[in-house]
Structure 1
Amino acid sequence: MEPNTEAEAIKPRPDYPPRTPPPPKKPPSPPPPQIRLGPSSLPHRQRSGRGGRPVMRNRQGAAWSLEAQPWAPGKGFTAVADRLRKWGLTAPDCLEDLVRHLVATVVADGGRHVSLHLAEQDGQILLLAFSHQPQLPDLEADVLSRLRELGAGSCGTETAVDGRQVWAVLDLTA
């Protein structure tokens, strides 16, 4: 038999198409780094953003931001009384007057808003009002004595570059 030249010409050669190698496999990812716990990797003591003061721990706390308006003292008292009730604590009788005086003091500093903070520990509550007003007017001379008259066990004020803080500590009734 003679080879058919036409059939041979149409028949593909055995090396056509050229055999291409398969694409390379993705190399395995390296193992994650080993985490070693040493003294330098332990968490640091938490600090707040302002002045490096410690963060409140191991006690109940709450905070509210209020507009610096004439109604802010009443709204602040309502928020504090509701939170104490939620925690199952009995508010002292002097609480309303004291909260109203604290908030009214920082509202008088001017500004757009004030903060009211509440913390409870060991049968006492701490109330802190913050003005957020950098340029502060002079504080009335009788603010701290008035807080004492209203029933604060201790009280104080602190002026910082970002506002004035006025605080009072009260004993809870049993």
Structure 2
Amino acid sequence: MAAPVAEEPGTPPSYPPKTPPPPKKPSSPPRPEVGADGPLTGTARVGAGMRDRRGANWTFESAPWSVRNAGGRVVAQLGEWGHRPGTAVLEAVRAVTTLLVTAAVADTGRRVSVHLSDQDGYACIVALSHRTGPTPGHSPDGDDVLHRITAQTGVTACGTDTGTDGRSLWAVISL
């Protein structure tokens, strides 16, 4: 048998080195931790999401005349979806939309967006003012908009949240 050839330092080998084959499937990132409040527990505010229900949204200029337009569109959309509530409920929907959009316009953002969804005989109306910095639920003169919303007929829940995209005010109304 032949003795191995000793190579001098600094001399490249006489054969190419073997490279490993590329992976067949790229590795996937780890799955998010699922906590009691959902899949994104402990993270910053995540934008609103909707599943398994109808939804509509509109963007308005942040101006006083947007309030009337928003109320009319919400009532019309509920009619298109086949909801035929009584006159008292329709007036409550229009009044709640007016209160939500008026508070969003008072935040003096660039625009106001209104989001509507329905499920199981309830409608959720959300008004988002695209301006950061307002205090949650209270206007600067101390008037609490959430108390005025809950005083309306059929309102089962309401709330407010302030995030990087502005203040969102929402209400759930029984249809």
TM over 0.5, shorter chain: yes
1:55 to partner: Cα distance:
2.8
What's 2:124 paired with?
A: 126
What's 1:56 paired with?
A: 50
Cα distance in 2 for partners of 1:116, 1:77 equals: 10
Computed over aligned residues only, the root mean square deviation of the Cα atoms, in angstroms, reads: 3.2
> Residues 9-61 of structure 1, C-alpha deviation per residue, up to 9 Å, x if partnerless?
xxxxxxxxxxxxxxxxxxxxxxxxxx98xxx59xx9xx9xx944463111010
What's 1:86 paired with?
A: 80
Cα distance in 2 for partners of 1:130, 1:162 equals: 8
Change (3 A) 1:54 1:143: closer
> Residues 64-88 of structure 1, C-alpha deviation per residue, up to 9 Å, x if partnerless?
0000111111100111111111111
What's 1:116 paired with?
A: 114
Length, aligned pairs only:
137
Contact 2:132/2:162 (CA < 8 Å) preserved in 1?
Answer: no
Residue aligned with 1:110, SS:
coil
1:162 to partner: Cα distance:
2.1
> Residues 102-125 of structure 1, C-alpha deviation per residue, up to 9 Å, x if partnerless?
100110000221010001011100
Q: Which runs of 5+ in 1 are unaligned?
A: 1-34
Contact 1:128/1:166 (CA < 8 Å) preserved in 2?
Answer: yes
Please, what TM-score do these two structures have when normalized by structure 1? 0.67
Q: Which runs of 5+ in 2 are unaligned?
A: 1-23, 33-39
Instruction: Decide which of 164, 168, 172 is 1:165's aligned counterpart.
Output: 168
Change (3 A) 1:67 1:147: same
Change (3 A) 1:86 1:155: same
**Counterparts of residues 4-19 of structure 1 (less than 5 Å):** none
Please, what TM-score do these two structures have when normalized by structure 2? 0.67
Considering only CA atoms, is the larger Rg found in Structure 1 or Structure 2? 1
Question: Counterpart amino acid of 2:121?
Answer: G
Cα distance in 1 for partners of 2:114, 2:170 equals: 10
1:137 to partner: Cα distance:
5.8
Check if 1:145 corresponds to 2:143. Answer: no
